[in-house]
Structure 1
Amino acid sequence: MRSETSLRAGVVGLGWAGRQHMDAYSSQADVELVALAGMEADQLALLGDKYGIAPEYRFADWADLVAANCVDVLSIATPTALHAPIAVAALDAGIHVLSEKPMAENADKAQTMVDAARRNSRVLEVSFNHRRRGDVQVLKQIVDAGLLGDIYYAKAGWLRREGIPGMGSWFTRQAKSGGGPMMDIGVHMLDMALHLLGEPDVTTATAATYAEFGPRGKGASAYGLGRKTEVTADDFDVEDLATAFLRLDGGGTLLLESSWAQWIPYDQCYVTLYGSEGGAAIEWGGEPGDPYRKLGIWTEKDGVPAVLTPVVPPDGGHLETVLQFLAIVRGDAPTEHDGAEALVRAKVVDACYASAAKHAEVSLGG
């Protein structure tokens, strides 16, 4: 029997990310996963059986789930171009929303999500699960404690040697995805960097994008949706590498880069901070069979150079993201969480793409 204090949860999207949300909701005693939506009939049946979803709450169309008035909270794990329409409809129906990143295919669509959250006094959160990493969490504590002093320069990047996801799928079509690696994985690094830096305003963006692999059918991921090698202009109209130089309010700068494919020895991710009193770097990547993770902090003690090795807590991932979302929904000030922080990321990504198209610096002024 359902408790009066339990929350009814639903998930739209039956892929890997959606399943992370399903697992998270199902792990909580005070949450009932009651509805799923997705177009893949076989997966809908399989997952419906796995999570004990009643047949009448297994929907092929997300709009039917929203209209059924059967959930209090909803996770969205669909192609990017569906985030805004699903979120707006759900928020207008009084449902709290947790969307996968990126927030939407552009900042205008992201703004409609924020507007819907505000007019309905509902929670809108966007899942940036990588900020839940243990190394990011401990470095955030170190930065906030002032150990690095004033951070004036930062670098962040996610680089793949060969990892274009789903060549010819929605990932590589601008109308459905909003962009290539800058939108897909670069936004994770942008989020981590701004989070660590204390959310400074980005004032200008100077960016460039390149498509040297995808249009030739090269660089496809060995996993996921296959390795299509014969592509047309309709199959791939996004970048496969993007780089941006961002000026921050207060005079700091952030160098951001992301790629799905380039000639490097192995995949690499990093966030590096340069402060007046110390520096720090998080790195992970490596060969599939030989991955590595590093967290380094360099400073001095009484004039003597010092290297710090803090204890790193376990990663949080999607579970922690979902748990925080649920806590916000149940908290004292849920309307303070309206997606505004994620909207900032969307505006920065838009500015980067605009700069790349114009070959000029773009301002993010008010």
Structure 2
Amino acid sequence: MTDEPKKLRAGVVGLGWAGQQHMQAYFDAANADLVALAGMEAEKLAELGDKYGVERRYADWESMIKSGDLDVISVATPTALHAPIAVGALNAGIHVLSEKPMAESGAAAATMVQAAKDNDRVLDVSFNHRQRGEVTALKEIIDRGRLGQIYYAKAGWLRRQGIPGLGTWFTRASLAGGGAMMDIGVHMLDMALHLLGNPEVSSATAATYAEFGPRGRGGSAYGPRANVDTKVDFEVEDLSTAFLRLDGGGTLLLESSWAQWIPYDQCYVALYGSEGGASIEWGGWGVEPYQRLNVWTEIDGIPAELQPIVPPAGHHEASVLKFLDKVQSGQFAEHRGEEALIRAKVLDAIYASAAKGTEVTL
């Protein structure tokens, strides 16, 4: 009879919505104990500490890391803090799960990967939308060869009105690194590349626009300063589009917006293969949301539309549980955040292309 692995002592830095998803996941996990929280909002820190029964509460992440007695840490802060916190934790021997995007630049993301290698720790990034049931089902179909050679893909996340906090860190380039593409477009980039089998991106041709944010318009209905015709500090884009060339000859068209004149929010990935096509779609408004997985192919020469069984979605909980499994597997060298680093470098190329008005090679 072997002893069960000890529970991993977990800490979370960041008290916002994403941080709270990580807290709940650690709290519910059978193989982890949530033992420490860090955040600058004193009232929220007290509230969440009481909710989860966490006695160790810190106003800053440095104090939490220096206190010791942590095995894993989640980083759910403004993007520009991801790399400093992750590197500090990794150097202290703590495994790290960072929220997306990995960092504000590929260079910053690379420091995180190097720290994971130097300290023999796990570095993971939470792309929670990859845990959707439709993605799991479609990935299995692709891996079985049902779509054949996929040569073209489209992916996008478009909001009617959803700039997350006008005038906050989300709209400041130095803190966020970018706007809609950095915030939500990265989810669709990750999802598309994951479904395609992670081909290398060879070049990017992109454009960015800021038509709503600078006028104080397009703010989320749940955030501050929504729909007001007042100029605000807005240093990023509210819409971005990119054409990516992939090794092997394939291409990916990517678009993302925080605000746009469309009927409702829309998210999609569409794949075109030699033996079939497929799409994942979700969006809509309020009481009329939609969520679809479509697969079109041919069986014995007869056009067919498949209806795959879709497993339940995992969301942030699945990201946290998979991270804990990676830590307990002991196979740290296989999980250094290098796949997420590739996403960060692609984002660099997208923004560089938009700034220069020309194609940028990776």
TM bucket normalised to smaller: over 0.9
**CA distance, structure 2, for counterparts of residue 12 and residue 307 of structure 1:** 45
Query: In the TM superposition, what is the alpha-carbon distance from 1:229 to its structure 2 partner?
Result: 3.1
User: What residue in structure 2 maps to residue 148 of structure 1?
Assistant: 147
- 1:281-301 Cα shifts (integer Å, max 9, x gaps): 000111222110111000011
Task: Give 1:340's match in structure 2, choosing from 330, 338, 341.
Answer: 338
1:130 is paired with a residue whose SS is: helix
Q: Give the SS at the match of 1:193.
A: helix
Which one of the candidate residues 280, 297, 300 is aligned to 1:299?
Answer: 297
CA contact (8 A) 2:91 2:115 kept: yes
Partner residue of 1:313 out of 311, 314, 323:
311
- What is the alpha-carbon distance in structure 1 between the residues aligned to residue 153 and residue 95 of structure 2? 34
CA distance in 2, matches of 1:218, 1:147: 44
Letter of the 1:351 counterpart? A
Task: Give per-residue Cα distances to partners, 1:256-287, cap 9 Å, x unaligned.
Answer: 00000011111100000000000000001112
C-alpha contact (below 8 Å) 1:328/1:334 kept by paired residues: yes
Report how far residue 227 of structure 1 moved: 2.1
1:230 CA displacement: 5.9
Tell me the residue number matched to 1:227. Answer: 226
| Contact kept? 1:34, 1:70, Cα under 8 Å | no
- With the length of structure 1 as denominator, give the TM-score of the two structures: 0.96
Distance (whole Å) between structure 2 residues aligned to residue 90 and residue 101 of structure 1: 17
Describe how 1:47-62 pairs up with structure 2 within 5 A: 47-54=48-55, 57-62=56-61
Alpha-carbon distance in 2 for matches of 1:230, 1:336: 50
Aligned length: 359
Match of 2:104 in 1: 105
The residue aligned with 2:167 is 168
Deviation of the 1:228 alpha carbon: 6.9
Q: How does 1:1-366 map to 2 (within 5 A)?
A: 5-54=6-55, 57-227=56-226, 229=228, 232=231, 235-364=233-362
Other structure's SS at 2:220 match: coil
Residue identity in the other structure for 1:11: V
Structure 2 counterpart SS, 1:33? strand
Per the TM alignment, residue 317 of structure 1 is displaced from its structure 2 partner at its CA by 0.5
SS of residue matched to 2:249:
coil
CA deviation map 1:3-31 (0-9, x unaligned) = 97111000000111111111111112331
Contact 1:211–1:239, Cα closer than 8 Å, also in 2:
yes
Could you say what secondary structure the match of 2:256 adopts? strand
Cα deviation for residue 332 of structure 1 reads: 3.6
- State TM-score, norm by structure 2: 0.97
- State the distance in 1 between where 2:199 and 2:5 align: 41
Counterparts of 1:108 and 1:353, CA distance in 2? 14
User: What is the distance in 2 between the residues matched to 1:165 and 1:272?
Assistant: 26
Q: Does the aligned pair in 2 maintain the 1:167–1:228 contact within 8 Å?
A: no
RMSD between aligned residues:
1.2
SS in 2 for 1:326: helix
- 5+ long unaligned stretches in structure 2: none
Distance in 2 (alpha carbons) for counterparts of 1:263 and 1:181: 15
Report SS of the residue matched to 2:218: coil
Is the Cα–Cα contact under 8 Å of residues 216 and 225 in structure 2 kept in the other structure? no
Task: Determine the C-alpha separation between the residues in 2 that align with 1:292 and 1:138.
Answer: 17
3-state DSSP of counterpart to 1:25: helix
C-alpha separation in 1, matches of 2:309 and 2:239? 34
**Letter of the aligned partner of 2:298 in structure 1?**
E
Deviation for aligned residue 1:226: 4.4
Q: Secondary structure at the match of 2:46?
A: helix
1:123 shift after superposition? 0.3
Q: How far apart are the structure 1 equivalents of 2:332 and 2:203? A: 31
User: Equivalent residue of 1:270, what SS?
Assistant: strand
- The 3 A distance-change label for structure 1 pair 349 and 4 is closer
The answer on whether the counterparts of 1:9 and 1:32 sit within 8 Å (CA) in structure 2 is yes
Amino acid at match of 1:44: L
Distance 1:284 1:228 in 2: 25
User: Which moved further from structure 2: 284-293 or 90-99?
Assistant: 284-293
Letter in 2 for 1:339: G
**How far is the alpha carbon of 1:316 from its aligned partner?**
0.5
What secondary structure sits across from 1:236 in the alignment?
coil
